[in-house]
Structure 1
Amino acid sequence: MPMYHSELLTGLLLNLLVILIIILLISFQYLSRNKVHKLHIKPLPIYIVSSLLLLLSLALSVRLEDGFVYDLRFVPFLLGGIYGGNRVLLWLAVTMIAIRAPMLGPGLWVTVVMAIVFSLLIIYMRPRLEYKAWKTRVYWYTLFAFTYSVLSLWIPAQIFGFDYSSSFLVYSAVLSGSTFFVFYLCEIIRTIYTLQLEAIKYEKMQVVSHLAASMSHEVRNPLTTVKGFLQLINEDPSNVSTNSELSKVAVSEIDRATEVINQYLNFARPHPELEVEVGIREEINRTKEIIMPLAIKRGIVLKANILHHHSIVGDPNKLQQVLINVMKNGLEAMGTGGTLRIFSYHEGNKVFIVINDTGVGMTKEQLMRLGEPYFSMKGKNGTGLGMMTAFQLTEGMKGTIKVLSKPGKGTSVILSFPIYEGERNPSSLTQTTKVRPSLR
């Protein structure tokens, strides 16, 4: 009985396309859940997907002889058996026989024999292939598929006396090639999962390593100073004047160590503990008073221009810390001399605070690393904790930070926060419409 090879080839390739589409869709769905903390997939989903692919494969099967139909059902059967375990494998064997049974014919007995033989083969070989290289496993699975094609088509053809040698070549080539391609794809996806898990662990370890090194360095220095001064005081306790100066320096060093520890705690607890109405004008003026002595000492002119009376929701202490960290960075970027400007305006439903300095500026590469732990423009004198904390605290108050900078032309840090909806004194608000001051 003649057989059209094109019909067999078309049916098998369509079957392969359906299998690949479903595998890719499931992989994308698994990735999109953003839960890549584990690689294991439960047996039940594997069984359900494999059974669905078995049904679709049978629906797309091609009939060669009365009672004999051929498709790629072996691919999902092998897929579920390899990745789902022995229990899934046995249930798939039962499922493959059950969905083939309604069609009857002598091909049913071939299906039963194939299900039993290859279930035993997979149970025997799977633990032996588990720790092999993934490419070796793919080659073995391809060999399984070729063996299945021989036992399911060529041998029945000899027993029942129909000559389908050329059709066997098409079926064997497509089944073996499909098995190789599907398992190659699955192993690549599993490798990507594994690499992603390792990358996440490595990144976490890097952050912990940087933070530990930074904290060890910053806290050890003042403690070493305090220890040395206490030894000097102990050597000559009668020298009151000298010991008094040494004590003051020791206390200041302890305060510096305390400040570093507090910065780490603020990073570990980035969200504000309070959510109250915070007046922007009041906090900027208060921060300006704190920073003013340092600016005068460096010969820097400090200018503030607040164009509104709006408020935000957050913790005033946290907002003040953000402003102090950013303004101190601006002062230190200028060294001695220069101008530090603070603007504040509102546009739409947001309040903007712009802190602009005339310092050394930053390159694009430095801007990209701004806020990373242990990255600082101050060299050995900085830890990067100031800006890292500022980013965390601002995000905790539902705000954003944008930094604009060019080497030699200074830096502008733009903070934005949602306006507090229940203003304290709406009648006293200054009427402004999209006032945007120049940053330079």
Structure 2
Amino acid sequence: MAMNHSDLLTGLLLNLLVILIVILLLNFNYLSRNKVHKLHIQPLSIYLASSLLLLLSLALSVQFEDGFVYDLRFIPFLLGGIYGGKRVLPWLAVTMIAIRAPMMGPGLVVTVIMAIVFTFVIMYMRPNLENKAWKTRVYWYTLMSFGYSVLSLWIPSLIFDFDYSSSFLVYSAVLSGSTFFVFYLCEIIRKIYILQVEAIKYEKMQVVSHLAASMSHEVRNPLTTVKGFLQLINEDPSNVSTNSELSKVAVSEIDRATEVINQYLNFARPHPELEMEVGIRNEINRSKEIIMPLAVKKGIILKASILHHLSIKGDPNKLQQVLINVMKNGLEAMETGGTLRIFSYQEGDKVFIVINDTGVGMTKEQLMRLGEPYFSMKGKNGTGLGMMTAFQLVEGMKGTIKVLSKPGKGTSVILSFPIHGGEEKVKSVKQTTKVRPSLR
């Protein structure tokens, strides 16, 4: 039976709406699981998502002419082929045919031909488009979609003497426009992922550049000691026993300088994604050692108190980056000196890390904007990416950040994480110590 233009347009637009809703929900789920820091998506996930969209598209299909069913199934097929590659595309072609097979009719032959033809087209075009600008890729995907719509009419007209040109114009326009819109949205989201990953790297390197200036103080001291000892050994080379002791001290000082340099290099270099047991005490002590030269340079007292030996599940490199970002912000809030306190305690099934400074503090309005990109208390010297990155990394480890602050009294940043090991670890601690952050 024939389908009027209004019903065809309504059906296709409903199909588009469902595709967009599923794509957005999948992206929100991806973000909530902290995949924002790694762009790669598993081929299996792409295949399952595309197959789901294929099934929904066919469920919302419109009967164009007796035995022919038209919908927007080419969009998820193209999405899976472009973003999943050769490992996904052939299986998607088989899936598209398998889903269409139960409906039978002459349209099944068209589906088989189109699936085979466009599997080879996408395989050929995909590597050629990878290095193109994202807008150029979107235009090419739209052109492929238009080509699909043309062939989907031309093939039936040749084989089955099918001619329904007026409705074809509606179908072709909606399919091509929908493809442009869906891929434009996907490429924008993909670009946001890339920019966020780059922002995290930029913020980390900015912290390293600031710490490097203060590192010279920490390295210069042992080098000065080594230089003095070598001069003493040179003045009296015959005194073997004394020179032996001086040599041992000189070697230990060189080792200390090497360890300081290694700490900075370990913080600066890229690390693979990890999920493991992370000891809170160890990471706080490492972060304290890295930030100490900057504190000494500014005349700030750094105190740390860890009242447990608990651990959390996550990435130690991410936790270290969060701690150093927050500590550095605290140091920069105390231009005339002060005290930076870091302490950690257990409360229930969570472990808390509190970083408290005696700096300038923040107003309620400033607190509300904390974590926004490019909002910074440092004026033109700040980007606001440090706290934005900290919020994202902590959320990725199933933690939370709470900030308490009063102008002129200082700021307390409170990080909380679920204890690794659950109830067993909580029960093993017989007495729970509760410490509240102070703004003094």
* TM-score interval, normalised by the smaller of the two chains: 0.5 to 0.7
Q: Deviations over 1:276-299 (max 9, x none)?
A: xxxxxxxxxxxxxxxxxxxxxxxx
Consecutive unaligned residues of structure 2, counting only runs of 5 or more, are 237-252, 268-277, 301-324, 362-406, 416-428
Distance 1:197 1:208 in 2: 17
In the TM superposition, 1:131-280 aligns within 5 A as 131-157=131-157, 160-215=160-215, 217-220=216-219, 222-223=221-222, 271-272=280-281
Cα distance change on mapping 1:271 and 1:162 into 2, 3 Å: closer
1:118 corresponds in structure 2 to 118
Amino acid at match of 1:204: K
> Which letter maps to 1:398?
F
Residues 1:14 and 1:220: Cα distance change in structure 2 (over 3 Å):
same
- The residue aligned with 2:28 is 28
Q: Which one has a bigger Cα radius of gyration?
A: 1
- Any idea what SS the aligned residue of 1:167 has? helix
Measured at CA, do residues 46 and 106 of structure 1 come closer, stay the same or move farther in structure 2, by a change above 3 Å? same
- Taking structure 1 as reference, are residues 119 and 272 closer, same or farther at Cα in structure 2, changes over 3 Å only? closer
* Distance 1:228-1:410 versus aligned 2 partners, 3 A rule: farther
CA 1:399–1:188 in structure 2 vs 1: closer, same or farther (change >3 Å)? closer
> Which residue of 1 is the match for residue 322 of structure 2?
none
Cα distance 1:176–1:415, how it changes in 2: closer, same or farther (>3 A)? closer
Question: Which shows bigger deviation, 23-32 or 152-161?
Answer: 152-161
Q: Please, which runs of 5 or more residues in structure 1 have no aligned partner?
A: 238-253, 274-314, 334-368, 425-436
Kindly tell me: are residues 179 and 214 of structure 1, through their superposed partners in 2, closer, same or farther at Cα, counting changes over 3 Å?
Answer: same
After TM superposition, give the deviation of residue 139 of structure 1 in Å: 0.8
Contact preservation (8 Å) 1:210, 1:374? no
Structure 2 Cα separation of the partners of residues 438 and 223 of structure 1: 37
Report the counterpart of residue 392 of structure 2 in structure 1: none
In the TM superposition, residue 400 of structure 1 has moved relative to its aligned partner by 3.2
- State the identity %: 61
Is the alpha carbon distance of 1:423 and 1:50 closer, same or farther for their aligned partners in structure 2, counting shifts above 3 Å?
Answer: closer
- 1:371 equivalent among 327, 330, 337: 327
Q: Is the 8 A contact 1:50 1:80 kept in 2?
A: yes
1-side partners of 2:24 and 2:220: how far apart? Answer: 55
User: Structure 1 pair 45/225, CA: closer, same or farther in 2 (3 Å)?
Assistant: closer
Residue 63 of structure 2 aligns to a residue whose secondary structure is strand
1 CA distance for matches of 2:117 and 2:169? 22
TM-score, structure 1 normalization: 0.58
Distance 1:63 1:377, change over 3 A: closer
Instruction: After superposition, give the CA deviation of every residue in 1:250-272 in whole Å (9 maximum; x if it has no partner).
Output: xxxx9xx99x97xx89xx99944
- Name the CA distance, whole Å, in 2 between partners of 1:171 and 1:129: 26
The Cα offsets for residues 302-325 of structure 1, whole Å up to 9 and x where unpaired, read as xxxxxxxxxxxxx9xx9xx9xxx9
Separation in 2, partners of 1:81, 1:438: 55
CA distance in structure 2 between the partners assigned to 1:170 and 1:142 by the alignment: 15
In structure 1, distance between residues paired with 2:193 and 2:151: 36
Alignment partners' CA distance in 2, 1:192 and 1:199: 10
Q: Secondary structure at the match of 2:88?
A: helix
Give the equivalent residue in structure 2 for 1:73.
73
State the 1:223 CA deviation: 5.0
For 1:44-83, what aligned pairs fall within 5 Å after superposition?
44-83=44-83
Give per-residue Cα distances to partners, 1:225-272, cap 9 Å, x unaligned.
6578779989999xxxxxxxxxxxxxxxx9xx99x97xx89xx99944
Q: How many residues in Structure 1 have an aligned counterpart in Structure 2?
A: 318
Retained in 2: the 8 A contact 1:19–1:53? yes
CA-atom RMSD in angstroms: 4.8
Cα deviation, 1:132-191, whole Å, max 9, x if unaligned, reads 111111111111110111111245246544542221111000000111111111111221
Cα distance in 2 for partners of 1:416, 1:127 equals: 47
Q: Distance in 1 between matches of 2:163 and 2:172?
A: 15
In structure 2, the CA distance between the partners of 1:377 and 1:61, relative to structure 1 (3 Å rule), is: closer
Question: Is the contact between residue 327 and residue 355 of structure 2 (CA under 8 Å) also seen in structure 1?
Answer: no
Residue pair 1:211, 1:374 contacting (<8 A) in 2 also: no
Structure 2 CA distance for aligned equivalents of residues 86 and 116 of structure 1:
13
CA shift in 2, pair 1:438/1:35, >3 Å: closer
Q: d(CA) in 2 for partners of 1:400 and 1:95?
A: 53
Between the aligned partners of 1:162 and 1:438, the Cα distance in structure 2 is 78
Is the 2:114–2:148 Cα contact (8 Å) retained in structure 1?
yes
Look up the SS of the partner of 1:85 in the other structure. helix
Indicate conservation of the 8 Å contact 2:68/2:107, yes or no. yes
- The 1:20–1:412 alpha-carbon spacing in structure 2 relative to 1, beyond 3 Å, is closer
Following superposition, the deviation at residue 99 of structure 1 comes to 1.6
> Which secondary structure does the structure 2 equivalent of 1:40 belong to?
coil
Amino acid at match of 2:44: L
Quote the offset at 1:378 in angstroms. Answer: 7.3
